[in-house]
Amino acid sequence: MVLRDAHNRIIRDLRLSLTDRCNFRCFYCLPNGEPPLARKETILTFEEITEICEIFVQLGIEKIRLTGGEPLLRKDVEVLVEKLAKLKALRITNYELRGDGNPNSKFQIPKLVDLALTTNGFSLKERAKDLKNAGLDRVTISLDSLKRENFRKITGVDKLGEVLQAIKAAQRANLNPIKINAVIVRGYNDNEIVDFAKFARENDLSFRFIEFMPLDAGHEWRREMVVPGKEIRAKINQVFPLKLKKNSRGSETAWKYEFADGGCGEIGIIAPVTEMFCGACSRIRLTADGQIRTCLFSTAEHNLRDVLRSGARRAEVVEFIKVVVLKKEARHHINDAEFVQPQRTMSFIGG
Ligand code: SAM
Ligand code: SF4
């Protein structure tokens, strides 16, 4: 069984926001640290999240990413990870795959293949090992500057040292492949692009350069602040020639490159503004308070929490999800004159 939208895209990737709270104040996301939008009783419990994820995995979701806000602010995330990791025991048989095989076939593959978490890294150093032991496959860590003062200016906190240590701890805990995210903003960190590429080579990391999207709570986004993916690529290429990786993109957001000289590490360029990739989107999002969002830029939300809490039968929950998926937008409209920034910001939606 798969979730297919009205534009014939199959949904394989679930992004789960665990909280809209954060202890960083990234100017491109949550500059003033708005009080949480969702009240405690509206936030999904670990039991509810696990139940929803089990249904999604039965419906063909292969990847689950825990995000936020800062997901590690949610108490006992390791307990949730342990519950979700158990979903990897759900198997798909070749009978299900082809529909004409032997139902008793021994050939089985997991339905859920990837359980990941995106974090600002502030407390990962202490928790990396426990998260791995609980069943987390890998982490993505945000790192917007390699210079202490610039890091503080962008994120509002003086935590560069902690984040660098978190990267090392994640490597030691084998939370691989580790990805590093940097949102590149004109006038803030575009002068560090080559340094980031060097950092990726020296530390054998997958470094992803992300275009600034109009999802910031401070409404500071301006088109001139977006550093186009092409410019990022050219800057790196001048110093460290890049080679497009085989099978780059697919339903993934990033163009992936290796270093032409065979150096360690990988470069990913995520250019949702200047090189829209909506046609291959396989993602769906669930906010911390249980609202399904079919696109980062959706202006509507679908209240799965209330359906679940109303005591709906499983078949009804499945039907609700299927109908919502059919409403997934064909594309975003950032580049259209009539574009309206969604009310919910990245910290709430879950990046
Ligand atoms: N707090 C965690 C973190 O920072 O990694 C997870 C949540 S954060 C919303 C997820 C990712 O979204 C981060 O890598 C962040 O840099 C990115 N992000 C936030 N606001 C963004 C924006 N306006 N444009 C592009 N990316 C953004
Ligand atoms: Fe917090 Fe992540 Fe948003 Fe920065 S990007 S404010 S760390 S949620």
* CATH code at position 140: 3.20.20.70
For 59, the 3-state DSSP assignment is coil
Q: Which atom of ligand 1 is nearest to the CA of 350?
A: 9
Q: DSSP character for 176?
A: P
Give the Å distance between the CA of 346 and the centre of ligand 1.
7
Check residue 343 and report its DSSP letter: S
pTM (two decimals): 0.94
**E strands along the chain, which residues?**
3-4, 10-11, 13-17, 63-67, 91-93, 108-110, 114-119, 138-142, 179-184, 206-211, 242-244, 255-259, 266-270, 283-286, 291-293, 302-303
Which two three-digit tokens encode residue 186?
A: 């004109």
Measure 118 CA to ligand 2 centroid, in angstroms: 10
Per-residue DSSP letter, 165: H
**What dihedral angle (degrees, nearest 10) is formed by the CA atoms of 48, 52, 58, 64?**
-110
Q: 56 near 48, Cβ under 8 Å?
A: no
DSSP 147: S
pLDDT of residue 147: 98
Q: Which residue's CA is the nearest one to ligand 1's atom 2?
A: 119
Full domain range(s) for residue 211: 3-349
Q: What is the pLDDT of residue 251?
A: 57
Q: How far is CA 208 from CA 142, 176, 179, 233, in A?
A: 9, 15, 7, 11
Per-residue model confidence (pLDDT) at position 197: 98
Ligand in nearest proximity to the CA of 33: 2
Ligand 1 near 253 CB (within 6 A): no
pLDDT at residue 100 in the model: 52
231 neighbors 238 (Cβ within 8 angstroms): no
* Alpha-carbon dihedral sign for residues 141, 145, 151, 156: negative
Contact 3, 325 (CB under 8 A): yes
Structure confidence at residue 341 (pLDDT): 78
Q: Tell me what pLDDT residue 93 has.
A: 66
Strands 291-293 and 91-93, sheet pairing: unpaired
Testing ligand 2's pocket by substitution, the residue of 120, 180, 296 carrying the most ligand atoms inside 8 A of its CB is 120
CA 252 to ligand 1 centroid distance, Å: 17
Nearest ligand for residue 183 CA:
1
Residue of 346, 347, 348 to mutate, ligand 1, most atoms within 8 A of C-beta: 346
The alpha carbon of 293 and the centre of ligand 1 are apart by a number of angstroms equal to 16
The angle, 0 to 180 degrees and rounded to 10, between the axes of the packed helices 314-326 and 46-58 is 70
Q: How many domains is the chain partitioned into structurally?
A: 1
Write out the two tokens for 11. Answer: 């949904």
Residues of the chain with pLDDT under 50: none
From the number of C-beta atoms within 10 Å of its C-beta (0-12, 13-18, 19+), residue 110 rates as middle
- Cα-based distances in Å from 302 to 154, 255, 289: 33, 31, 11
